[in-house]
Amino acid sequence: MSTLSREEIQRLAEHLENAELQVHDVTKITDDYPDMDFEDAYDIQWEIRRRKEARGTRIVGMKMGLTSWAKMAQMGVEQPCYGFLADYFSVADGSAIDTSKLIHPKVEAEIAFVTNKSLKGPGVHVADVLAATDFILPAVEVIDSRYRDFKFDLKSVVADNSSSSRFVTGGVSSSVSGLDLRTLGVVMEKNGEIVEMATGAAVLGNPAESVAMLANMLGTRGEELPAGTFVMTGGVTAAVAVTAGDQILVRYHGLGTLSMRFV
């Protein structure tokens, strides 16, 4: 049950989207709206999506966030969330990412899925996801919360499109058949030093569980994951802060590497 009026949803969506587009931080919106609920928060996120689509921006995928204990513990929240990916968030493997367009970026190593059948909750489970997976591939998300000093709560994060900002895909794509997603090892290096490592099981026990959870969360709004959707399943590790001059390289067991530099 939502608590905010249509006008408040529109005003908060404009406020948060302006922070993203004009590259400035804001205080968490629950300071001013302590009674807002998760339906309000997702209404704001969907209004930001509508604003972008009305300007001709294409939505090119979805992301799940806060799906690993490492991330939840790092940010002090205990529940995953989702967000959308806009066309201009996509950055080519090996490229330079301009930090002047970002507030305080952090990188997360993730496993991404591309579906070939639609998934609609409730009741979607891991086997449904595997049966609907065309291929998986390495991805790195660059998150950039619009909240000052990353001081937020989950409702504020959801309204802010779950901190979505940029993403890089590449490496080697693979069918899920014969692959143990739980033991898929990931090693992240920053400036040549290993800073994080984990396996796929860090994400809800199995990254396919994250896609199932997304389909089920979307189902509560009557939405589905259409066939052909690119889905990032959430960081397997805690997020690593980056600034201009940093280089990131992520190695995925059997799936190649991804790299980027920040300028």
Distance CA(35)–CA(148), nearest Å, equals 21
Q: Which of residues 30-89 bind ligand 0L1 (CB under 6 A)?
A: 63, 65-66, 71, 75
CB of 124 to ligand 0L1, least distance (A): 20
Asked if 207 interacts with ligand 0L1 (CB under 6 A), we say no
Asked if 170 interacts with ligand 0L1 (CB under 6 A), we say no
For ligand 0L1, which is the closer residue by CB, 145 or 206?
145
Distance CA(167)–CA(215), nearest Å, equals 21
For ligand 0L1, which is the closer residue by CB, 65 or 207?
65
Asked if 237 interacts with ligand 0L1 (CB under 6 A), we say no
115, 163, 233, 237: residue in contact with ligand 0L1 (rule CB under 6 A): 163
The structure tokens 């952090």 sit at 106
For ligand 0L1 (CB under 6 A), the number of binding residues is 15
Residues 103/165, Cβ–Cβ less than 8 Å = no
For ligand 0L1, which is the closer residue by CB, 128 or 161?
161
CB of 105 to Mg ion, least distance (A): 12
Distance CA(175)–CA(79), nearest Å, equals 29
Q: Write the CB contacts of 16 (distance below 8 Å, at least 6 apart in sequence).
A: 26, 29, 44, 48, 146, 159, 160, 161
160 binds, options Mg ion, ligand 0L1, none, Cβ within 5 to 8 A by partner type: none
168 binds, options Mg ion, ligand 0L1, none, Cβ within 5 to 8 A by partner type: none
115 binds, options Mg ion, ligand 0L1, none, Cβ within 5 to 8 A by partner type: none
109, 143, 168, 250: residue in contact with ligand 0L1 (rule CB under 6 A): 143
CB of 226 to ligand 0L1, least distance (A): 21
Q: How far lies 211's CA from each of 67, 99, 136, in Å?
A: 10, 30, 12
CB of 167 to Mg ion, least distance (A): 8
For Mg ion, which is the closer residue by CB, 8 or 169?
169
Site residues (vs ligand 0L1, CB under 6 A): 63, 65-66, 71, 75, 108, 141, 143, 145, 157, 162-163, 234-235, 239
